[in-house]
């Protein structure tokens, strides 16, 4: 379970005024909400009962290290996903989209386990299904309500701004709200993170945490291990004000489609890297490493230094010293294979069969395709990027 921090125990807020959500361009946002409401009436014949919102995010620093257990420093952005929702007595979920590019769909709303997600097909409603399935399971709902839903998103798709996670977060919130079980923020985050993995992407938790936990006019420092901890970070007042410019290159990269050779492959490389690094450091048999599933670079680092007395030391300097040591250790552990390892070579290092190694890193759920696994590069990136975050 998540840490009992105040922010994770707080409930997701409900607002009745757009000025409580947006700080500028209120007329533009009002027109958008009005258009969504009118389109909902035109589609379903009734007004929506409520609208759920989840923003996209941009990562300021800390790329590809959340699934290694290391902290990241993103912030939510104004572009967001909206879903207008109305509960019904029918056992159906009806989904439509403002954008005619995305077709309408519907499916039976039975128990979460009965929801089928075909992740071999790239379909926008799959992300809603992920959130719906995860939410129904999280609240243990055996007789879920039907829903009519209409979505509008201003987050560019496949642009690296977490448009898919915003949909999943909206679906989780909508499903919980309709079924009368809106959980605390921390549990909503946990549900959304687990839900998105149904799409076949073995993601960390940065995107969903940022969307649910961020505060207005603040970035957020997110720590994942040993427990989820959220620290809002306000930028200093300056004249002129600090402005972040997000440029869309229009180069599309869909994480779910390319997962076996890109995203999931990177995750698997860090998981296997952690197993081998733990063995190299002589801590693979320690309970903290044996019980961890998954074993991450952060767990390995913490266990290696678990007996070190850091009382009275500067926390940031401790982080720096530990990460520097892990960079050196990873060079020792993986430096003999600068071009990567084959499956057979990795399995031999760990005294396992290739099939057992695949099972240990859950390739049955998140398959990957590679001839060479870049363990040195992944370890050096994870520790050096975490070092950048800590120094930042």
Q: How far apart are CA 2 and CA 12, in angstroms?
A: 16
Strands in the chain per DSSP E:
50-61, 73-88, 92-97, 105-108, 146-153, 218-223, 229-234
Q: How far apart are CA 226 and CA 301, in angstroms?
A: 12
- Classify 196 as helix, strand or coil: helix
The rounded Cα 138 to chain-centroid distance in angstroms is: 17
Q: Which of 66, 80, 207, 225 is catalytic?
A: 207
Closest CA to 221 of 5, 14, 18, 60: 60
Structure-block tokens of residue 315: 């926390």
Structure-block tokens of residue 274: 């952690």
Q: How far apart are CA 198 and CA 164, in angstroms?
A: 12
Instruction: Indicate the DSSP class of residue 205.
Output: S
Q: How far apart are CA 386 and CA 68, in angstroms?
A: 10
Give yes or no: 6 in active site.
Answer: no
Q: How far apart are CA 284 and CA 335, in angstroms?
A: 19
Q: In terms of C-beta distances under 8 Å and separation of at least 24 residues, what long-range contacts does 186-190 make, across chains too?
A: 186/2, 186/3, 186/5, 186/7, 186/8, 186/9, 186/228, 187/2, 187/8, 187/138, 188/12, 188/212, 189/2, 189/8, 189/213, 189/228, 190/1, 190/2, 190/138, 190/228
Closest CA to 228 of 271, 174, 272, 185: 185
* The Cα angle at residue 93 between residues 92 and 94, in degrees rounded to 5: 110
How many CB atoms lie under 10 A from the CB of residue 188? 25
Q: Is-contact 178 145, C-beta < 8 A?
A: yes
> Catalytic positions, please?
207
């Amino acid at each position: 379970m998540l840490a009992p921090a105040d922010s994770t125990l707080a409930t997701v807020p409900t607002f009745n005024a757009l000025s409580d959500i947006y700080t500028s361009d209120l007329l533009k946002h009002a027109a958008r909400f009005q258009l969504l409401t009118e389109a909902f009436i035109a589609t379903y014949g009734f007004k929506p009962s409520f609208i759920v919102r989840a923003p996209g995010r941009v990562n300021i620093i800390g790329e590809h290290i959340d699934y290694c257990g290391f902290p990241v420093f993103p912030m939510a952005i104004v572009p967001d996903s909206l879903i207008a929702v109305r509960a019904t007595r029918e056992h159906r979920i009806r989904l439509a989209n403002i954008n005619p590019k995305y077709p309408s769909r519907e499916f039976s709303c039975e128990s979460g386990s009965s929801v089928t997600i075909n992740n071999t097909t790239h379909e926008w409603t799959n992300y809603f299904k992920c959130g719906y399935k995860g939410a129904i399971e999280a609240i243990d709902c055996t007789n879920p309500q039907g829903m009519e839903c209409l979505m509008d998103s201003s987050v560019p798709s496949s642009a690296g701004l977490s448009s898919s996670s915003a949909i999943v977060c909206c679906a989780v919130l909508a499903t919980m709200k309709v079924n009368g079980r809106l959980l605390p923020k921390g549990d909503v985050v946990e549900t959304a993170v687990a839900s998105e993995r149904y799409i076949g992407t073995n993601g960390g938790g940065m995107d969903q945490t940022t969307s649910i936990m961020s505060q207005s006019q603040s970035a957020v420092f997110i720590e994942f291990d040993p427990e989820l901890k959220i620290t809002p970070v306000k930028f200093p007042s300056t004249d002129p004000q600090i402005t972040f410019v997000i440029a869309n290159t229009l180069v599309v990269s869909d994480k779910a489609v390319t997962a076996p050779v890109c995203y999931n492959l990177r995750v698997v490389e860090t998981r296997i890297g952690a197993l081998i690094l733990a063995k190299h450091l002589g801590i693979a048999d320690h309970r903290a490493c044996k019980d961890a599933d998954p074993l991450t670079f952060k767990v390995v680092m913490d266990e290696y230094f678990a007996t070190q007395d850091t009382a009275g030391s500067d926390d940031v300097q401790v982080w720096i010293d530990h990460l520097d040591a892990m960079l050196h250790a990873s060079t020792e552990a993986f430096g003999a294979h600068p071009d990567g390892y084959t499956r057979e070579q990795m399995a031999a290092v760990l005294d396992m069969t290739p099939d057992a190694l695949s099972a240990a890193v859950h390739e049955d759920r998140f398959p990957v395709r590679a001839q060479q696994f870049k363990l040195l590069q992944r370890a050096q990136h994870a520790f050096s990027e975490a070092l950048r975050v800590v120094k930042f």
